[in-house]
Amino acid sequence: MKKIFIYLALAGAFTSCSQSSKTSDMNPFFEAYNTPFDVPPFDQIVNAHYLPAFEEGMKQHLAEIDAIVNNSEAPSFANTVEALDKSGDLLTRVSMVFFNVKEAHTNDEMDQIAETVAPKLSRHRDAINLNEKLFERVKAVYSTEGLQLGPEQQRLLSETYKGFVRGGANLEPAQKEELKKINEQLALLELKFGQNLLAETNNFKMVIDRREDLAGLPESVISAASEEARSAGLEGKWVFTLHKPSWIPFLTYSEKRDLREKLYKAMYNRGANGNENDNREIINQLVNLRLQKARLMGFDNWSSFVLDDNMAKNPENVYDLLYKVWEPGLNRAKAEARDMQEMIRREGGNFELASWDWWFYSEKVRKEKYDLDEEQLRPYFELNNVRDGMFTVAEKLFGLTFSKLEGMPLFHPESEVFEVKDADGSHIGVLYMDYHPRPTKSGGAWMTNYREQHFRDGRDVRPVVSLTCNFSKPAGGKPALLSYDEVETLYHEFGHGLHGLLSRAQYRSLAGTNVSRDFVELPSQIMEHWAAEPEVLKMYARHYDSGEVIPRELITKMEESGKFNQGFVTTEFVAAAILDMDYHTLTENKTIDPEAFEQISMEKAGLISEIIPRYKSTYFSHIFAGGYSSGYYSYLWAEVLDADAFEAFKETGDLFNPDVARAFRTNVLERGGTADPMELYLNFRGKQPGIEPLLRNRGLL
């Protein structure tokens, strides 16, 4: 996932020191960082530095805007559009640090700062987007015929103009005032949704104090639960939480059906428990406010407004893709459910398969069909080996090398830092990595930037990228052993990281991952393909204890079972994407009960009762807090691209074909948003992608 934070709209913390409210004599944001590679000086930043830096950043940014507006020279690309792209350095710098650190390691004080600054940033953003004199200058440049601009300059001009229009610049004065109020409310509601979800995730613990209630659980899962209990002051007990590395293994292996149900319901009831962290009213307000904003902007619904700026262009195209995949996926899921129900009957069970049974019985069916279970694989997926193998893939594809840096400023002691170099030894960028769950970290996995690549005064300013995950921790005296799903997730986020690291754009607003929502997942998802290739597995999948390379027998079982359970995986994903679209294609404001709305949406689609959407509404942070509203489909849209793109390598018979890798790097990874996404893809592939490779990869053809 590529997280989008509030500050990014302007351009289209743990620290190892005290968190005291007392400010230091010198605010680190107000001077050159003076750190290796100019990374943020996390060891010098305290919470008290943020608000003054935000205030000064907004003040400086507005002064820069005034200078553009009051320039006595006629509007030109250089003195207006280019100057605008270069403005706001201080504000961008503090925003990137604050919001990234807040997601990775928040505290009450940071949450309060976020609540204070969110409406200020919204007002600041609107003060620029709705600045009539500034827009007139941009429009004057945009309307000038015969400008001698290069392709990237032309792209910046068109995207800047479009950004103003989509920001409300063409609205009437009264409409602009209404838009300002809506934007401020949206910023606060989205922030609150995420804070509520983190609190709900942290507030639940299933405590087990009887050994017999651990029946079926592998020793690694039991050890992790024991250590979780110990850290919670519950020595001698076992604790399971709502973080994925805890609840998914429990549902997969626990023989205690009542406890599986208890944990699963706690997971999917997050944000719907009638307490101070309830997200239902927030959803109601968000959906209605988004519709109001879309109508102000001249669109029938929020999806139409969002998609007008994406590859999909309109809701009809999204629904068309979703239902092309939905029907074969649902049919396969029904067959999978029948297999599991038959197993329940054979075992003497007198109950119908429920959603909290799926992980348990699908794992049993997989074991029966393929003689393979997740715990056979984990010992071969030690975190450091997986990471190093991933780095080797990047070296073989793009010539990159990764050197661990010691003594660097860290936003959390568990994070680690690497310098990334190109094949010729030149500096590419800096990569932070942060792997494991903690109560102060948001759930999921994502890539962000602490600095985006761009050119300034002829100098290529290289990026600082961060990958943040929530993977299985070391437990029972063993290192961190990943599930294969976690391996794929790491490769996925690394793909986003490469997109940011390899950027070669002139302008910050067009660099790296600043692309349309349904294109940004192409670089991340194509990287997942390499993770399971036998040639690559032999590079990194080594037993954590013996060092033995993963046996060919296990690789064969992985290959044979690779398309197993794809009905479920496809159906739960597409269900969530349909739910997202159904919320945001509403054309009339109304009071929304998310649970009732979700039920109607899923009944209309034909979802079977044994499966729920991957994200139910009240914890669907992608669309209500993470910048993916009307965009969750984008993973599937990008899968059409990534499946077709990986075939370009497979067709040559060489997973690391240098010509194909070079074409992908130069036409996709380095280009950012400097051209239309489909143009970039066609430059790489030479043809339009089809849906068949996607269906084939999922075993649905």
Q: What is the pLDDT of residues 532-590, one digit of tens each?
A: 999 999 999 999 999 999 999 999 999 999 999 999 999 999 999 999 999 999 999 99
Per-residue model confidence (pLDDT) at position 541: 98
Residue 586, phi then psi, degrees to nearest 5: -60, 140
- Asked whether residue 78 carries a pLDDT value surpassing 50, the answer given is yes
Residues 463 and 325: their CA atoms lie apart, in Å, by: 37
- Confidence band (pLDDT; 50, 70, 90) for 17? very low
The answer to whether the CB of 464 falls within 8 A of the CB of 20 is no
- Which pLDDT band holds residue 25 (cuts at 50, 70, 90)? low
Catalytic residue numbers, as ranges: 493
SS (H, E, C) 481-532: ECCHHHHHHHHHHHHHHHHHHCCCCCCHHHCCCCCCCCCCHHHHHHHHHHHC
Residues with Cβ within 8 Å of 386's Cβ and at least 6 positions away in sequence, in order, are: 482, 487, 490, 540, 541
- The domain segmentation of the chain, as residue ranges, is 6-170, 204-268, 379-560+634-697
H or E stretch at 467: strand 464-468
pLDDT for residue 5? 54
pLDDT of residue 701: 85
Q: How far is CA 398 from CA 70, 172, 261, 526, in A?
A: 46, 50, 46, 14
Pair type for strands 416-421 and 459-461: unpaired
* Residue 383 in this model has a pLDDT that exceeds 70: yes
Contact indicator for 183, 190 with CB cutoff of 8 Å: no
Confidence of residue 310 (pLDDT cuts 50, 70, 90): very high
Per the CB < 8 A criterion, the answer to whether 60 and 91 are in contact is yes
Beta partners for 475?
478
pLDDT band at 1 (very low <50, low <70, confident <90, very high): confident
Report pLDDT digits (tens) over 278-289. 999 999 999 999
Predicted pLDDT of residue 11: 36
Neighbour-count burial of 554, counting CB atoms closer than 10 A to its CB (0-12 exposed, 13-18 middle, 19+ buried): middle
What's the token pair of residue 53?
């830096």
The pLDDT value given to residue 4: 65
pLDDT (0 to 100) of residue 274: 97
Which residues does residue 239 pair with via DSSP β-bridges, in sequence order? Answer: 207
| Cα–Cα distance for residue pair 361/340, rounded to 1 Å | 6
Q: Is-contact 308 325, C-beta < 8 A?
A: no
Return the closest-CA partner of residue 529 out of 295, 312, 697, 282: 697
**169-206 as b/e: b if 16+ CB within 10 A:** bebeeeebebbbebbbbbbbbbbbbbbbbbbbbbebbb
Tokens read off for 522? 């192409």
Please report the pLDDT score of residue 579 as a whole number.
98
Q: Please, which pLDDT band fits residue 374 given cuts at 50, 70 and 90?
A: confident
Average pLDDT of span 42-48: 97
SS (H, E, C) 618-658: HHCHHHHCCCCCCCCCHHHHHHHHHHHHHHHHHCCCCCCCH
The answer, yes or no, to whether residue 6 has pLDDT greater than 90, is no
CB 169, CB 296: distance < 8 Å: no
Does the pLDDT value for residue 12 go beyond 80? Answer: no
In angstroms, what CA-CA distances link 532 with 135, 484, 658?
50, 9, 20
pLDDT score of 2: 77
Q: Identify the pLDDT of residue 14.
A: 25
Residue 127 CB contacts under 8 Å (≥ 6 apart), including other chains: 62
**In the prediction, which pLDDT does 139 show?**
98
Mean pLDDT of the chain: 95
Task: Give every CB contact of residue 496 below 8 A, 6+ residues apart in sequence.
Answer: 1, 2, 446, 447, 467, 513, 520, 523, 524
CATH fold of 379-560+634-697 reads Neurolysin; domain 3 (1.10.1370)
Tell me if the domain spanning 6-170 has CATH number 1.10.1060.10.
no
Dist CA 460 CA 505 (whole Å) = 9
Q: How confident is the model at residue 409 (pLDDT cuts 50, 70, 90)?
A: very high
The pLDDT score that the predictor gives to residue 23 is: 40
* Closest CA relative to residue 505, chosen from 310, 668, 627, 645: 668
Cα separation of 270 and 264, whole Å? 10
For 282-347, give the secondary structure using H, E and C.
HHHHHHHHHHHHHHHCCCCCHHHHHHCCCCCCCHHHHHHHHHHHHHHHHHHHHHHHHHHHHHHHHC
- pLDDT at residue number 331: 97
